[in-house]
Amino acid sequence: MLKYTRQSDPELYELVVEDLKRQENTIEMIASESTVPLEVMELSGSILTNKTLEGLPHKRFQAGSEVVDKIEELGWQRAKELFGAEHVNLQSYSGSTANYSVFAAVLDPGDKILSMRLDQGGHLTHGSPANWVSKIYHHDFYGVDPKTEQIDYDALEKTAKEVMPKLIIAGASAYPRLIDYERMAKIAEEVGAYFMVDMAHIAGLVAAKVIPSPIPWADFVTSSTTKTFCSARAGMVFCKEKHAKLLDRGTFPGSLGSVHFHTMAAKIWSMKYAASPEFRALMQKVLDNAKFMAKAMEEEGFRIVSGGTDNHLMLVDLRSKGVSGKVFQNTLDSIGITVNKNQIPNDPASPFVTSGARIGLTSTTQRGLGPDELKVVANIMRRVAEAPEDTAVLAACQKEARELISAFPLYPAGAFED
Ligand SMILES: Cc1ncc(COP(=O)(O)O)c(C=O)c1O
């Protein structure tokens, strides 16, 4: 692995190897993570990174584009076919910049955005005061019904009619349920708003057609290509043909610079992979494993927010165990299981402490873990939550976690030999 860096910068090389070992020895349950196929790594590190170009195929601002024009067009064809979309722009550097492209495409300073509250599952780029977007636009929020912990569409509709936003955003970082895109599209139509869905978390499940797609309902659909799509650290945006010019201008020159052809090529490889029966079966297993894990956690005495999950992630309410999300995350990390602390709806604790944790099943499913192993993981999580300071318990849990994951290689043997 990294045969040139190994020679020229052993210090950096050793740190990368150290993280490879950490990844190999960790039960990875952060919902936004996945393990990329070797081809994605190969293409992300390919010679395509050398090419500087701005603009779209056949309309570039620099010379030497004839080959990468073909690559980008191949990507359009694959992406539109895979997701059943009218138009795509594959130039986004990440899920965040995918959102910025749409804002640049359709909004003016001071325009109103209605999106999901950050502390109930929304994302920073949808209007958090901590994000620069909040300095430019006016933000209003919708949330979940306190009883069902699922989106309160009636309240959303009422707010939309009062606020009359220019853009309504669906999609979240920590929402375990399916979203009623049809209902939200109707609300957007009634108030004359654009409707955007940020499917960053669920793009792989959508591509595999194991959950419903937002593409038919939304004006714009943005996404990361990491997370369930299991591809390069980049982004993509789909839209209706009638918005194609707006989106392309919002992307470049509206919000981005030159094209990253190395990660674009990796995304294009993944478009082919995501259409395969193998990927579909993987995504179905992710769904099945998430449902199983939610039940297993309930059996260990945890409360699952909204009573379950329809996608790859769940939110666990830790209050019955008397442990904060912060302590749960840090203690699990110390024994080789990674999750992230997360606020639960109407959380009395701050975002830095939290009463909950978010657990995702993509990476573990890719490694081959199934119900038998997940039952053990849920049991370890209970023991850690109930005794986060008991060194004997933690040592036993660490041993079990390490033994369990060592039977499921991160990459095939010899993948990094050179
Ligand atoms: C809903 C949502 N949108 C956008 C993003 C940002 O994606 P990226 O990290 O690729 O910029 C995230 C990342 O967690 C997300 O959950």
Q: Supply the CATH number for residue 58's domain.
A: 3.40.640.10
Give mean pLDDT, residues 67-81. 98
Q: Are residues 156 and 254 in the same domain?
A: yes
Q: Compute the distance between CA of residue 126 and CA of residue 364 in angstroms, rounded to an integer.
A: 29
Q: What is the pLDDT of residues 244-299, one digit of tens each?
A: 999 999 999 999 999 999 999 999 999 999 999 999 999 999 999 999 999 999 99
| Nearest-CA residue for atom 4 of ligand 1 | 95
The answer to the question of residue 10 being in a domain is: no
Mean of the pLDDT values across residues 399-417?
A: 96
| Distance in angstroms (rounded) separating the CA atoms of residues 115 and 390 | 42
pLDDT of residue 27: 98
State which of 274, 303, 330 marks the end of a domain.
274
| Residue 143 and residue 179 in one domain | yes
The mean pLDDT value of the chain amounts to: 97
Burial class (CB in 10 A: 0-12, 13-18, 19+), 383: middle
Question: Hey, which of 96, 115, 313 would you mutate to test ligand 1's pocket, going by the most ligand atoms within 8 Å of its Cβ?
Answer: 96
Say if CB 187 and CB 165 are below 8 A apart.
no
Q: Is there an atom of ligand 1 within 6 Å of 123 CB? A: yes
Give domain status of residue 32, yes or no: no
Residues 282 and 264 occupy one common structural domain: no
Tokens standing for 397? 């849990």
Q: Find out whether the beta carbon of 96 lies less than 6 Å from any atom of ligand 1.
A: yes
Same domain, 293 and 245: no
Task: Say if residue 248 is exposed, middle or buried (CB neighbours under 10 Å; 0-12, 13-18, 19+).
Answer: buried
Judge if 101 and 143 occupy the same domain: yes
pLDDT reported for residue 17: 97
Tally Cβ neighbours within 10 Å of residue 278.
10
pLDDT tens by residue, 124-166: 999 999 999 999 999 999 999 999 999 999 999 999 999 999 9
| Residue-wise pLDDT tens digits, 365-388 | 999 999 999 999 999 999 999 999
Structural domain of residue 246, as residue ranges? 40-274
Number of domains in the chain: 2
Tokens of 395: 């040592």
Average pLDDT over residues 307-314: 98
Q: How confident is the model at residue 418 (pLDDT cuts 50, 70, 90)?
A: confident
Q: Is the CB of 224 under 6 A from ligand 1?
A: yes
The Cα 247–Cα 254 span in angstroms is: 9
> Which atom from ligand 1 is nearest to the alpha carbon of 233?
10
Q: Is the CB of 197 under 6 A from ligand 1?
A: no
CA of 221 to the centre of ligand 1 (A): 13
Averaged over 201-226, what is the pLDDT? 98
- Would you say residue 305 lies in a domain? yes
Any idea what the CATH number is for the domain that residue 376 is in?
3.90.1150.10
Residues 95 and 244 in one domain: yes
What are the helix (H) ranges across 301-361?
Answer: 325-335
Q: Do 262 and 287 sit in the same domain of this protein?
A: no
Cβ neighbors of 139 (< 8 A, separation 6 or more) are 112, 113, 114, 115, 126, 127
Residues 181 and 96 in one domain: yes
Q: CA 123, 230, 324, 152 torsion: positive or negative?
A: positive
Decide: 184 and 221 in contact? Cβ < 8 Å.
no
Distance 96 CA to ligand 1 centre (A): 6
Count of CB atoms within 10 A of residue 408's CB?
A: 15
